Amino acid sequence: MSRRSVRESVFKLVYETDVCGEMNDLSISEALKDIGDDDKKYFNDVFFGIVDNLKKLEEIVKKYARAYDFDRLYKVDKALLYVAIYEILYMDDIPYKVSVNEALELSKIYSTPKSANYINGILASVIKNMEEHK
């Protein structure tokens, strides 16, 4: 399985967790069953890292989503932002450009046509001000 596919699985589980209000162990098990050992580490680091740091990630999105009320943001866009922001802040082995590009590509598949520009703007602000978020 490619890193892109694993990232997409993480995004889907983050979205599901947001919609349901809790983690689903069955969904996590299903997502992990086709993932190799190297990618399982990435999956676990990012998914559970997002869960553990959700309040901080929410605050970051709220800070840069100035034109929109946080509660009205698309849950898909929030999930994409959480994955990308987590990678940018905590995954030193992933270049920022990769995290941004992957979020934009997934937004083109799962979100609205305008979401990519919005997500890109928030992620650019996070990168520009990342020292204050670490």
Structure tokens belonging to residue 87: 């990678």
**Residues 6+ positions from 77 with CB-CB distance below 8 Å:** 107, 111, 115, 118, 119
Give the range among 8-17, 61-70, 100-109 with minimum mean pLDDT.
Answer: 61-70
Given this model, what pLDDT does residue 40 score?
Answer: 93
DSSP of 63-89: HH-TTS-GGGS-HHHHHHHHHHHHHHH
23 vs 86: which has the higher pLDDT? 86
Residue 94 has pLDDT above 80, yes or no: yes
3-133 architecture in CATH? Orthogonal Bundle (1.10)
Given this model, what pLDDT does residue 72 score?
Answer: 81
The ranges assigned to domains in the chain are 3-133
pLDDT band at 132 (very low <50, low <70, confident <90, very high): confident
Mean pLDDT of the chain: 92
Given this model, what pLDDT does residue 130 score?
Answer: 85
CA distance 129 to 86: 14
Whether this prediction's pTM lies above 0.75 is answered by yes
Given this model, what pLDDT does residue 37 score?
Answer: 86
Residue 70 has pLDDT above 90, yes or no: no
CA distance 84 to 96: 8
CA distance 127 to 7: 19
Residue 2 has pLDDT above 90, yes or no: no
Separation in Å, CA 110 to CA 90, 106, 114, 133: 24, 6, 12, 27
